[in-house]
Amino acid sequence: MSRLEEHYSADDIESRILAAIRAAGLNPEQRLSPEELGALDHFHTGGLRASRELLEIAQIQADDKVLDIGAGLAGSARLIASAIGCRIDCIEMSNDYCTGAALLNRLTGLENRIKIHQGSALDLPFPENSFDVVWMQNVGMNIADKRKLYGEIFRVLKPGGRYAFQEMAAGKVTTSYFPLPWASNAAHNYLISAEEMRSVLSECGFIVELFEDTSDSHLSSTLANATPAAPGQLGLAVFVDNLALKAKNARRSLEEGQVRLVRGNFRVK
């Protein structure tokens, strides 16, 4: 459970984020750049670096309509909106993350380009054929019903639309180190193998353009921002309990082949 899930009021969440930003030597009274916040709001393997790499792969255009699913604090949405200039809808299950994301959108001056919706990836509140690009990072591992998840993504994409993602996948060895950032125990560990992922996506109607295993290249930065190098530096621990142990377990699981990190770009026929 994230700290944000412990039912802070919106004011509390905002104060926690503002305090962390000030402690890192940034001034929230002045406009912040998405990059300055990168250690705080890219809650996935490889952090900001992995988001930049996915941005290259996704080839998003300024007039594309983009949906970020399970956006968390919407760090990637701000990176995309500022780099490309497009509009983005974010859907996020946690009210607390939605509140945090809206605050960070204001602090970066991007609130007019990014819209935050509270809701579920399994019941997207958008009509079919709504988006050119769906973006998702480290979310499917929280969701058991992959067919429903990928079916929803397919439904909201326009013909020719793309699904750009990075995701944890099951390795060849059974996962044994818990807690992990996405599962406190084995019963909540919803990983499928890369082969199963490709096959479910294909059954849902997607064509693969790129699908690759990047475990080795991101080993050194599993959750690099889990434990900030110096006191006061921005990091994910502002929101996630027990993160140092979870990140250590994730790294060990990757090193021993229990989990894999994959990314891809799939297209709607």
Ligand X SMILES: C[S@@+](CC[C@H](N)C(=O)[O-])C[C@H]1O[C@@H](n2cnc3c(N)ncnc32)[C@H](O)[C@@H]1O
Residues that bind ligand X (CB under 6 A): 42-44, 70-72, 75-76, 91-94, 97, 120-122, 137-139, 142-143
> Nearest-CB residue to ligand X?
72
Least gap, CB of 31 to ligand X (angstroms): 21
Residue 30 or 71: which CB sits closer to ligand X? 71
Residue 43 or 154: which CB sits closer to ligand X? 43
Residue 44 or 198: which CB sits closer to ligand X? 44
Least gap, CB of 269 to ligand X (angstroms): 25
d(CA 50, CA 97): 21
d(CA 123, CA 118): 11
Least gap, CB of 29 to ligand X (angstroms): 25
Residue 72 or 161: which CB sits closer to ligand X? 72
Residue 99 or 137: which CB sits closer to ligand X? 137
Q: Give me 75's structure tokens.
A: 């760090």
Least gap, CB of 64 to ligand X (angstroms): 18
Least gap, CB of 12 to ligand X (angstroms): 18
Least gap, CB of 7 to ligand X (angstroms): 15
Residue 166 or 258: which CB sits closer to ligand X? 166
